[in-house]
Structure 1
Amino acid sequence: MTNPASAPTPASASTPARTPDSAAVPSRVTAQTLVQEAQTVATLDLAEFLTATGRDVADVYRGSSTWTTILRRADLLPTPTTPLPGEAGLLKRMHSFLHIDDTERAAAYREFTADDAPAYDDLTEWDQRLARMLFFILWDKGGFTSYAAGLASLQGQQQVRSELGQLLTYLMNSPRMLPQRPLTGAHVHLPLNVHHAYNRSEILAAMGVARLGGQLPGFFAQGVLWDEANRTDALLITLNKSERDFSPTVRYKDYAISRTRFHWESQNATAPHSPTGQRYQKHAQQGSHVLLFMRDSKDTATGKAMPWVLLGPATYERHTGSKPMAITWRLHHPLPDRIWSRMPPTP
């Protein structure tokens, strides 16, 4: 894989593509229904099953279900008499790939889990970042002494690799793939695309914040991140904050004012004169940067963690108030229709 930042890309897709955060709510379906349908279709191929049944791929990953567990319950795939260590945990992570919406990322993850996968240490710096994104999707709380050891261990997980390969291939051939718009300038080395979806593990790994022996994505729950190495404030924004998931003190008012303006409230401890408040206001003069990531809500319709969409770099325009500061950011990339049309009304 190579850094695509210099390659020309279309400005927009000819038709709005389905993404996990904009897809229609899947029809209610039970695991037993999927098992019965698998027995009827009688295929080991995920794409063939979805085509034959008309199911959305998210249906397969409702609850604790996976394509492998469906096949085993349908007696289309033998169930091991002795569970393979680590397999169950890895299969539970398969739903964390459903949001992928660019071919480079899907192809890279597929390459790194293939039978002839390259060794981590032989990868380019760009591909190592992508490999770490994959690593932390699978093991967001670590568990290995090195990335090479973790990725190499997948060679012993044939069924996990088979399912992931089928899932990634299906996604690559689906309408949810979007034209790539790589970050440029100070962020050109980050394998992230503007207006594409990423989960927490991918964001932290791509930026180089997640690392073995240090910050692990599985223990990161903040909505703000200062990345010293890239001199970047990453703001992880959830628009719709439910009473169940957010206490009143952190139910910040975040919303799009227009396609190029975004209203965001800082953490309650941040005042304009504080070091963080000053950095927000003077980032352009001081040589630091701001990246906005946004998601509709904490969970998807199927109860899984919703990924964030990278809105891209932003520049401070103004603020009011203190603790929290109500900041207006100017987005460098206007929101496309598929994102703007889902925005709640401006308060």
Structure 2
Amino acid sequence: MKFELHAKDPGTKARAGTLQLDHGPVETPIFMPVGTVGTVKGVHQRELVQDINPDIILGNTYHLYLRPQTDILEKAGGLHKFMNWDSNILTDSGGYQVYSLSANRKIKEEGVKFKSHIDGSYHVFTPENVMEIQRKIGADIIMAFDECTPYPCDYQYAKRSMHMTHRWLDRCMAHLEKTPLSYDYNQTFFPIVQGSTYKDLRRQSAEYIASVGAHGNAIGGLSVGEPAEEMYAMTEVVTEILPEDKPRYLMGVGTPINILENIALGIDMFDCVMPTRNGRNGMLFTAHGTINIKNKKWEDDFSPIDEMGITWVDTAYSKAYVRHLFSVNEMLGRQIATIHNLGFYLWLVREARKHILAGDFATWKNMMVKQMDKRL
């Protein structure tokens, strides 16, 4: 992987760059649609390419390991071929799913024993086998195995967890060196900064992660219930330490406003289920605020979903029609909302990039944050 910075915004820490990966370039800042189980939920790959065209999407190691299982993916030639996706993929390591399975897992130094949410069977993730699983899945960017701490989190627990994440990182890197590539393209490895919402722990973790010299770095353990101000404070601490010449990925974030504020703090990469999940529940994101399309106020509103026309669905369908689809529980309503939201998220980061390159990102960002912070 190569990462080239093209511009820095003079009024913030925002950056515009390009990651060169074997499945094509990724222009940053970038939002990665979440394709947990080998699909961006509710969106056909053709629509994903033609209407949204992300440079990279995300898959989930935990879910893909359980279904369809690693051996099936390996027989298919990797996740790219299995799902007919020619662009880039990033897989997270399962650390967040371990966090979310708090009632059904046991964390030890060796790794994590957990119970499948599907059939109750027991499995073990270690730094070593998670690297092997991600080799076989075949993502372009693979993540270190870490523990994602909850919020709020006791200081001593956060400290112990952070140090264990660092030890797990060392084991991940040692095992990767002994584990050959499964396919005919390279994989890039990102370690993950932890430390909960404690500035001293975040500094320690960022310094440790920076010291290993990976091609890119991630920040985990945020967007888990903490106030947005704490998220921004932790991000600022970490981006002051992580190397400028490497891409920075803030995991699991977030709202459109969260994304713009974190771009301003020097983050390059984002992922979140919000545009797809909220879309399926009738929440549409726009440049002028959010719309609950299920509200009665849209019943006879025949204006387009979004007059900006970012994707074809925005001007093809009226608010009244999409509200009708939701009211009769028609799947098409959820599909239209999902395509719109993903299109909006990708439009937002691409507009951010344009304004960083133009040198007026700070002014544009402040205007957009004010506009988007409304319920329509």
**Which has more helix, going by share of residues?**
2
TM-score by length of 1: 0.29
TM-score by length of 2: 0.28
**Which has more strand, going by share of residues?**
2
